[in-house]
Amino acid sequence: MNDQEQLKQGINKQEQIFQRADRVNIIHYTDPLCCWSWAFEPQWRRFRYEFQNYITWQYRMGGLISDWNNYNDAVNSISRPLQMGPLWMQAYHLSGMPMNDMIWFNDPPQSSYPACVAVKCAGLQFQGAEERYLRYVREAAMLKGLNIARQNILFEIARQLSDEDTNFDADQFKKDYASGAGIEAFKKDLHEVQYKNISRFPTLTISNSDRGGVMITGYRSYSSLVEAIKDFVPVDKIIGTIDIDNYKNYYNDLTEREIEEAKKV
Q: Which pLDDT tens digit goes with each residue over 117-141? A: 999 999 999 989 999 999 999 999 9
pLDDT at 22: 76
Q: Give the model's confidence band at 46: pLDDT under 50 very low, under 70 low, under 90 confident, else very high.
A: very high
What average pLDDT does range 61-70 have in this prediction?
96
Mean pLDDT for 60-88 is 96
Mean pLDDT for the stretch of residues 93-110: 97
Kindly give the interhelix angle for 181-195 and 3-18, rounded to the nearest 10 degrees.
50
Give the C-alpha separation, 19 to 237, whole Å: 24
* Average pLDDT over every residue of 136-163: 98
| In the chain, alpha helices (H) | 3-18, 35-39, 41-50, 84-95, 103-106, 113-123, 129-142, 151-164, 170-179, 181-195, 222-229, 235-238, 244-251, 256-263
**What integer is the mean pLDDT of 224-234?**
92
> So what's the pLDDT on residue 213?
85
pLDDT of 210 > 80? The answer is: no
**Can you tell me whether residue 208 is helix, strand or coil?**
strand
Q: Looking at residues 5-25, what average pLDDT do you find? A: 57
**Rounded mean pLDDT of 102-121?**
98
Under 8 Å between Cβ of 96 and 257:
yes
pLDDT range class, residue 80, cuts 50, 70, 90: very high
How many domains does the structure of the chain reveal?
A: 1
Nearest to 40 by CA among 29, 55, 54: 29
Distance CA 68, CA 20 (A): 39
User: Residue 153: which CATH number?
Assistant: 3.40.30.10
More confident residue, 211 or 45: 45
User: pLDDT band at 21, cuts 50/70/90?
Assistant: low
Q: How far apart are CA 127 and CA 181, in angstroms?
A: 16
Higher pLDDT, 37 or 265: 37
Of all residues in the chain, what percent carry a pLDDT higher than 70?
Answer: 91
Which domain covers residue 109, as residue numbers?
3-263
